[in-house]
Amino acid sequence: SFTGDLRTDANVTACGSGCTLGPANTDGEWAQWAAVVKGFHVSSPSSMTAITFGYGGGTNGAGTLILQGGFEPYLSLFDGSGNFLTSTFSGTLCPPGAQTNTLSGQCFDLSIDGGTLLPGDYKIAISAFENMSFAENLGTGTLADGFTGLGNLAQGEDLHYSFDVVLTPEPATVPFLVGAGGVLYLFRSKRKRSNS
């Protein structure tokens, strides 16, 4: 579970050529350009999903009550080298467990399906909709190339965020391999009999 504030936690703060976000920038400018990138490790092949809670509020996986009123979120998933994997551009809006923001009447929290991730390190970024990575927008590059600056902050939204990354280990594939070995053994056994 990850919670925080885009202004204080952002580790992507570039705002165009020669520009870096700072204390003098407005919340709207932080929503436009900034992103928070978090790392996580996968120890065995696992299906991965992530869900946000900041816009409509709710209780995250750590049992923390999250207040509504955060920015409309955008999640982007990368491998350990920063190669783009997927985003909430094709994710699920208002997934099960998401709540409607009582002030706007909208349910803009979302989830992302990362598919099956192999063991290794991964990175997930949260930004304001639709501040996507250049790697996604251009179809080339990596997380290090930065973000497009297309985010926005609507009236009544602030910069707090909350999201969970959920990893579900995949069933072991050893029985399948043993079965395949058994089939191979039977094939060889028949072949030897036909040669004698």
Question: Can you give the pTM of this predicted structure?
Answer: 0.85
Q: How confident is the model at residue 173 (pLDDT cuts 50, 70, 90)?
A: low
CA–CA dist 84, 178 (Å, integer) = 35
CA–CA dist 15, 173 (Å, integer) = 46
CA-nearest of 186, 36, 162, 150 to 99 is: 162
CA–CA dist 66, 35 (Å, integer) = 19
CA-nearest of 140, 143, 87, 81 to 115 is: 87
Q: How far is CA 39 from the centre of its chain?
A: 10
The predicted pLDDT at position 180 comes to 45
pLDDT in tens, 55-97: 999 999 999 999 999 999 999 999 999 999 999 998 899 999 8
What percentage of the chain has pLDDT greater than the value 90?
A: 83
> What are the b/e assignments for 137-157, b being 16+ CB within 10 Å?
beeebebeebbbbebebeeeb
Mean pLDDT over 162-184 rounds to 68
CA–CA dist 60, 4 (Å, integer) = 13
E strand or H helix at 181, and its extent? helix 174-195
Conformational region of residue 69, where left means phi above 0, alpha means psi within -120 to 50, and beta covers everything else: left
Q: How far is CA 57 from the centre of its chain?
A: 18
CA-nearest of 69, 68, 25, 76 to 50 is: 76
* Mean pLDDT (the chain, rounded): 89
The residues near 61 (Cβ < 8 Å, ≥ 6 apart) are: 1, 164, 166
